[in-house]
Structure 1
């Protein structure tokens, strides 16, 4: 049974009388209900037959609380709905909404069941009676900007001059201009009137809900600024703006900047751990690729890597010593040639290579094209013709 069935009224499809208690619903016909009296007599009408499948339905006539004069479930729900709609104490309108109870009965039922009964004790708890008003009511404020949401934020580590530039008021722990500074204008002109209908009230409540979400977003941004110390980082970057970074530090900084969007899902320590882990993974991948390159080149020991890099640099820049281009610094390995001997061997190899190219250029060309084959055929035919002429002259 749905919540709307408690407010629905049903009439018998056969005798047209209102059904206040249990009714019979046909499981084969669409929207067909009959009372118990008509069902017991086997009433049939239209396409409905008395041998159809059926089920018992109750629209809230059963009682929730035990007792002789207990209210039905329908009446209890109507009572709670009227209290929420008209407010506590407006018993005349509440009784009109229930339709079956007087104002005195509605008042007694609500106070007995929901204030002084077991539901009231479990819901409201024990109320301490005191004539002195409580002075700590603000500590229980858990709104979007309540103490529990802001008090645990770390303080801003900035100087007085920097606080003045930001418009930060340390005593109030607030800024002169917050994020979404015009959020309060959304509800500044709101007011509840007695003439407002349900649509107007719903619209105003939606505006309050939007305002609450904007306040939560403001608090979330403030927490991120505090947790990551973005203000201190900003002023430190301004002071160290002229400092130049190395290639590795620059790459790591760019890598960290690309992962900055994940800071909204982690705290400061967790974010630092995630970035450090991903950077370590990147370094290991680069190192594995480098070792794989060494293995493909036939290098099987780590002490041979420096010698391999030295020869690779010589092959890539054979005239580096002539152009005063200093190759990448390499680690000295015992047992290898010195730099002077290596430069001499490099110069001799370059000279030998230039001489080999010059000799190769002056070698006779070998052609294998169609014109060359035709020329060779004509040459052979002329030689055969000359031999025949010489043989003929010798016979004469």
Structure 2
């Protein structure tokens, strides 16, 4: 059988000048004299060549390497050459390079012969052991900000009039004007031509695709927040069925404002549960501080706590009344001092 470099050479019959696609007959006595099987069987003679000259059969690569495979030697070499040029997995390009095999046939032959077959067991195992073993730590994007979360939320429950005002299309669950509404311009006219684009052009175009995907993720995040927190219902304040939220004190409002930025990372129910837990923690800390004050004053019973609070309140009231009395007395003294000063200077007279 011919060497690998000869498998893709074209051979012409010296007698009929037709291309030989299968076995060829080479004359031992005549230099560069070959015949196809048909001319050889007819006893063709030309020039110094006689049909009684010794000969030998030559293979052009159409014989199968493995009897059960059905692949010829030239096809096997074309497969390996295509794998090296196009990379594993690009079966369409590999099939076009082989020309005589489909992408599925090329894939099955390479896996069964060179990965899982006898050749693969000898060659692939040492190479596999030398490769770094990496762990896939990625997780599916099904969190509260992932695309999967959008499917769990119902469409906006609004009237047709409100939908018209918002530009909302209930059947599509979409808005006429989205966030970053011109983001599609990044990829609308984008195309990659491997024959003309260099590495820098391809990198810039892939960066445009990444920018577009980031805009789509931000759209999904904003829609999810709008639905989960019922922002549309809050926008249309005339909706009577909207439940009224319990009125908060000034201290509670300031406390909740500190955690308002966290609402975009969790659902409405999770955020409400977080705020309730924080309010509960705040109340417990205040109660524990009060109990520690009772303990430091030697109070160990509930009745003593009530009496202690009453005495503390009475003492605070008494202190406040004393401060007000002292303040009034100071004011009277100041008025008398000013009056005496005015009389002594003759600015006012006494009757």
TM-score by length of 1: 0.45
TM-score by length of 2: 0.49
